[in-house]
Structure 1
Amino acid sequence: MSQVTLRDIAEATGLSIGTVSRALKNQAGMTEVTRNQVRQAAEKMGYDLGQLKKGRIRRIAFLLHSQHNTLASSQFYSPVLHGAEAACRREGIALSFIAVGPAEPVQGLIRVHQPDAILCAGFFEPEVLAALQQSGKPIVLVDMHRRGFTSVNPDNVRGGYLATQHLLRCGRKRIAMMSGSLAHYSIQQRNRGFRQALFDAKVFADPELEVIVPTMGEGDEAVVESMRSLLSLPKRPDALFCYNDSTALVAMKHCLNEGMKIPHDIAIVGFDDISSAAAAIPPLSTVHVDKEDLGRAGIELLLQKPDENPFQITMPVELIVRESSCDD
């Protein structure tokens, strides 16, 4: 019979893994009712309380790829880091932030920081992940998925689907999608949702309307180039779904500079709901991701032996409709 895990108790009680862990460790910050509920469930399920004492995690390294450590990406990854920090503070764990470049000897960085566990946020090359795995430390991926690793991701497919379905319902006929590199799990999944929505609506997916912004890191110019190529098509798109908000905001600015009216001439939807989406003129429709919750969940997963039986958690997303996509 397989060993009962904190996750099993969390699922049985409907509580979070962190709450279950704190209740079993007798930590503060919850009612006696909750504590007893968890203890009773643990006893009934035959949980081995000795598991909590093994290899207590005291230090966690939060790793971010240097390509994400930019102004454009910070509105997404800063709240993820804040969520992780809050969870660590609650558990009495020290968190250190490390930006990792593709050519850096990552094992050396791990030796210097000496964490007990590692949280990787966003995209990392397979070689970097393989090198991290060799450290033998528990690893959880946030906003990234790879076989053999425990990970937590927003529901990217559903988000891409909701954004595209919304544009179709607004009566748009030629919906373009602007993607980043499809090597990124989240972008690939958002693209899948986009295509699925078109397919379900029996709308032809025109390959000319799908563009990939050359590289992350070339800044606004690469997005402007991609937008120019879309607007120079014989039959222009009347809607645009962008793989993230920072790309959507640059695309929208270019369209406005070209004298286009939004959403009258082109409706635009982003993804992530970063803070500048609501502040844009016009405000940007987007798919809301609870970024702090992603960070919190990543830490909670690290506290319950994620390497023993890797699994994936998918967090819900929500479509936020603002003026950039609807004439109403």
Structure 2
Amino acid sequence: MAEKRGVTIRELAEAAGVSIGTVSRALKGQPGLSEQTRAQVLGVAQRMGYDVGKLRTGKPRRMLFLYNRSIGSLATNPFYSYVLHGAETACREAGVPLSMMSVLGGEDIAVQVRRHEAEALLGAGYFDPEAMEAIRRCELPLVLVDHFYPGVRCVNDDNQLGAWLATRHLLEGGAKRVAAIFGPLAHHSVSLRAKGFRRALYEAGRLFDPDYEVTLDPSLEYRDAGRDAMRRLLELPEPPDAVFAYNDSTAIFAMEVCHEHGLRVPQDIRFIGYDDIEEAAHSKPPLSTVKMDKEALGHVAARALIEGDTAPNDASLPVELVVRESSRAPEPQQEAAAPRKGRRQPAAAER
């Protein structure tokens, strides 16, 4: 019998002609729906023999933090460590156990999720469409952080504004050839940061030159990819005199390459990153960056799951420009005395 097999939320949503989120809110009695829609969903559920008891009310008994392993480990990409900590804090405050699972392409995500006995999912970072559909087929409340997917509640920072502030800072400091290093542009946050970078150039009356915008080589390890990107920029006939990197780790790797080639930061080339990870303030020189509350991203997402507030929405948290030594414009007398930029010099020249 159909009742014995069990009707899924997805089947119920398709039969009622509404989204999975609408079905969830209707069965839980949550606000945000018209009485007509609520009655329609409840009527279809009754006709199909849906077990309403499967959809528990109240906070989830266990939450699962999903992380895409393809974008590096939490050790090499510390941004998500802060997000995880924020989610953990929210869960501890609410008495909800939190576990973590890394996801890799080709794995059966649904099977792994069931092993964790999760009742709510917090996805952090980019997941390709195939992985996203596998996650949604788990039919559990879902909130995404640092990602966007239609029909899902998402929590992001204001990526486009942050990149615009960073690039404008370099331009206003007198930079003539501003370059950018990005990760995969398929990632929601990276694509918005690219838009912010280009918008700042356009508003400053600068022509966009694709040679000055490079992306990390996905075939390389994370650190090697950042260093490779900077080498490509230094090999241009007219290398940049300022670089916006889509995250702090990449900016730090790029500065290492410049030091090895005898370039001084910020006298010869200036840098600004994004995320304000702890290492940014302690790099040599200290790295300018765009700051957002990384722990708040995880905390807000986890609270939404705990409170059952998973209606599709794209929340955007504020950002702030943090100026440190790496992007400061040189004093006029220093600029006049600095060696002409443009050609790489052997690292030994300054040692």
Instruction: State the distance in 2 between where 1:6 and 1:126 align.
Output: 30
Alignment CA distance shift 1:182-1:136 (3 Å)? same
Does the Cα contact within 8 Å between 1:5 and 1:304 map onto a contact in 2? Answer: no
Instruction: State the distance in 2 between where 1:220 and 1:91 align.
Output: 38
Instruction: State the distance in 2 between where 1:171 and 1:85 align.
Output: 43
The one-letter amino acid paired with 2:175 is: R
In the alignment, what sits opposite 1:319?
321
The answer to whether structure 1 residue 303 and structure 2 residue 310 are counterparts is: no
In the alignment, what sits opposite 1:205?
208
The one-letter amino acid paired with 1:272 is: D
Using the size of structure 2 for normalisation, the TM-score is 0.76
Task: Identify which of 97, 101, 104 aligns with 1:98.
Answer: 101
Deviation string for 1:147-181 (max 9, x for gaps)? 11100001100110000000011010110000111
Any stretches of 5+ residues in structure 1 without a counterpart?
A: 8-52
In the alignment, what sits opposite 1:143?
146
Q: CA RMSD in A?
A: 2.0
Q: CA deviation at 1:216?
A: 7.2
Instruction: State the distance in 2 between where 1:98 and 1:72 align.
Output: 15
In the alignment, what sits opposite 1:165?
168
Q: How does 1:1-328 map to 2 (within 5 A)?
A: 54-70=57-73, 73-215=76-218, 218-307=221-310, 309-326=311-328, 327=330
Rg (Cα) greater in structure: 2
Does the Cα contact within 8 Å between 2:66 and 2:101 map onto a contact in 1? Answer: yes
Instruction: State the distance in 1 between where 2:219 and 2:80 align.
Output: 15
Q: CA deviation at 1:229?
A: 1.5
Deviation string for 1:217-267 (max 9, x for gaps)? 623222222212211111111100001111000000100111101111110
Does the Cα contact within 8 Å between 1:190 and 1:243 map onto a contact in 2? Answer: yes
Instruction: State the distance in 1 between where 2:265 and 2:271 align.
Output: 8
In the alignment, what sits opposite 2:346?
none
Does the Cα contact within 8 Å between 2:76 and 2:222 map onto a contact in 1? Answer: no
Alignment CA distance shift 1:72-1:93 (3 Å)? closer
Q: Give the match's secondary structure for 1:271.
A: coil
Does the Cα contact within 8 Å between 1:143 and 1:186 map onto a contact in 2? Answer: yes
Q: How many residues align?
A: 281
In the alignment, what sits opposite 1:37?
none
Alignment CA distance shift 1:6-1:82 (3 Å)? farther
Alignment CA distance shift 1:74-1:218 (3 Å)? closer
Q: CA deviation at 1:55?
A: 4.4
Does the Cα contact within 8 Å between 1:67 and 1:216 map onto a contact in 2? Answer: no
Instruction: State the distance in 1 between where 2:262 and 2:74 align.
Output: 27
The one-letter amino acid paired with 2:132 is: L
Q: CA deviation at 1:67?
A: 2.3
The one-letter amino acid paired with 1:312 is: D
Instruction: State the distance in 1 between where 2:170 and 2:224 align.
Output: 26
Does the Cα contact within 8 Å between 1:262 and 1:282 map onto a contact in 2? Answer: yes
Q: CA deviation at 1:317?
A: 0.8
Does the Cα contact within 8 Å between 1:6 and 1:304 map onto a contact in 2? Answer: no
Instruction: State the distance in 1 between where 2:255 and 2:301 align.
Output: 33
Does the Cα contact within 8 Å between 2:155 and 2:316 map onto a contact in 1? Answer: yes
In the alignment, what sits opposite 2:21?
none
Does the Cα contact within 8 Å between 1:149 and 1:311 map onto a contact in 2? Answer: yes
Q: Give the match's secondary structure for 1:118.
A: strand
Instruction: State the distance in 1 between where 2:274 and 2:195 align.
Output: 14
In the alignment, what sits opposite 2:22?
none
Instruction: State the distance in 2 between where 1:285 and 1:227 align.
Output: 17
Instruction: State the distance in 1 between where 2:106 and 2:278 align.
Output: 32
Instruction: State the distance in 2 between where 1:55 and 1:170 align.
Output: 53
Q: Give the match's secondary structure for 2:78.
A: helix
Q: CA deviation at 1:69?
A: 4.5
Q: Give the match's secondary structure for 1:67.
A: helix
Does the Cα contact within 8 Å between 2:64 and 2:121 map onto a contact in 1? Answer: yes
Does the Cα contact within 8 Å between 2:84 and 2:295 map onto a contact in 1? Answer: yes
The one-letter amino acid paired with 1:162 is: L
Using the size of structure 1 for normalisation, the TM-score is 0.81
Instruction: State the distance in 2 between where 1:69 and 1:113 align.
Output: 22
Does the Cα contact within 8 Å between 1:286 and 1:319 map onto a contact in 2? Answer: yes
Q: CA deviation at 1:312?
A: 0.8
Instruction: State the distance in 2 between where 1:265 and 1:210 align.
Output: 19
Any stretches of 5+ residues in structure 2 without a counterpart?
A: 1-24, 33-55, 332-351
The one-letter amino acid paired with 1:178 is: I
Alignment CA distance shift 1:5-1:192 (3 Å)? farther
Alignment CA distance shift 1:263-1:80 (3 Å)? same
